[in-house]
Structure 1
Amino acid sequence: MIKGVMFDFSGTLLRVEPTEEWLGAALAETGIAPAEAEEHAETVRRLTEYGALPGGPSPRHIPAHLEALWDQRDISAEQHRAAYGGLIRAAGITQPELAEALYTRHMAPAAWRPYPDTAPTLRELRRRGLPVAVVSNIGWDLRPVFRTHGLDDLVDAYVLSFELGTQKPDPVIFRAACERLGLAPAEVLMVGDDRRADGGARALGCPVHFVDHLPADRRPAGLSPLLDLLGPA
């Protein structure tokens, strides 16, 4: 019987803004004038190709000198910044102030949008008395994002890779979440979008439910079906 739920963050409960908006916000922050339309579009394309936006599209290819760092990017805040800073530079961003603004922008609550059914699903779990943990591979503190979007009171525990020094699919991170919820792994449902990373919860005996990592406006009801998995309210 399911008595608690673990959720991934990016692509599961919230989704980061599109790459073009991310770049626009950083340009506005720095006061750098946008390039002509064609050059601006090319910059967006390169940032997308290199997967430079954390939480955005995955890199289509990773420069060889960043491969090892990329694999361990969520172990610490320093590695996360180094990995994504490297991808931003690889995408052709040469102005240091713009590169810094791009990295900083993705951590702003305004850069994140809850999926339409995130709040209703979390409220329903709260109504049913099922505790919730957010389990994320991440290099920074996402709690302000949840507070800003009015979701923090619906989360009982945050288990973040950079705070533990390990990342999904390592069972250690899922075990920590179960312990903080005070439940056995078999009693905790893991909900995420990454088959490999989030699927690591199965090694502990947790049931797993996957959702599609889509833009927020293209996935209006991806979380709602999991309530059916939990049985009658």
Structure 2
Amino acid sequence: MHLCSKSGCSDSQYFEEFYSYFTTEQAWKLCDPEAEKVFKAIKKAGVKVAILSNFDTRLRPLLRALRCEDWFDAVTVSAEVEAEKPNPTIFLKACCDASLWGSEVTSFKQVAQRIGVKV
């Protein structure tokens, strides 16, 4: 029997509740309780740390709920850029968000060349 008919909720109601649940910290668990120390050590060493994700607009609220948003120098989300990996546009945006090459970079080819990738 269909879950929605057993539970008494509509398909859309069930979807909305399920969708919203994955914005809460209860739906997620950090893989390592020492993760914060690791990220702080990496940043202290001068390494930029960024997220480039095909997740949706729930990612930022989720990072806040998990209290790990400040672990990252930049967060680039495909839903906000309107381009998903492997589209070069999202990689270019992520590099600019993280100030890796500055706003003067205008193409993915330039980004690739600056990190030594033959194009």
Pairwise TM-score range, normalised by the shorter structure: 0.5 to 0.7
In 1, Cα distance between equivalents of 2:25 and 2:52: 18
In 2, Cα distance between equivalents of 1:182 and 1:147: 22
CA separation of 1:139/1:153 partners in 2, compared to 1, >3 Å: closer, same or farther? closer
Aligned AA for 2:100? L
- Which runs of no fewer than 5 residues in structure 2 stay unpaired? 102-110
In 2, Cα distance between equivalents of 1:135 and 1:118: 18
In 2, Cα distance between equivalents of 1:120 and 1:169: 31
In 1, Cα distance between equivalents of 2:91 and 2:35: 21
Q: What CA deviation, in whole Å up to 9, does each residue of 1:39-80 have, x standing for no partner? A: 8xxxxxxxxxxxxxxxxxxxxxxxxxxxxxxxxxxxxxxxxx
Contact preservation (8 Å) 2:24, 2:65:
no
- How far apart are residue 98 of structure 1 and its match? 2.4
In 2, Cα distance between equivalents of 1:161 and 1:93: 31
* Higher normalized strand content (fraction of residues): 1
Indicate the SS of the match to 2:29.
strand
Aligned length: 99
1:119 aligns with 2:36: yes
The percentage of aligned residue pairs carrying the same residue is: 26
Q: Match for residue 103 of structure 1?
A: 19
Indicate the SS of the match to 1:139.
coil
Contact preservation (8 Å) 1:137, 1:168:
yes
Indicate the SS of the match to 1:129.
coil
Indicate the SS of the match to 1:147.
helix
Q: Which has the higher contact order (CA 8 A, sep 6+)?
A: 1
Q: TM-score, normalised by structure 2?
A: 0.68
- How far apart are residue 164 of structure 1 and its match? 0.6
Q: TM-score, normalised by structure 1?
A: 0.37
1:204 aligns with 2:112: yes
What's the RMSD between the two structures over aligned residues?
2.5
- How far apart are residue 142 of structure 1 and its match? 1.5
CA separation of 1:147/1:100 partners in 2, compared to 1, >3 Å: closer, same or farther? closer
- Which runs of no fewer than 5 residues in structure 1 stay unpaired? 1-38, 40-91, 185-202, 208-233
- How far apart are residue 137 of structure 1 and its match? 0.4
In 2, Cα distance between equivalents of 1:105 and 1:99: 10
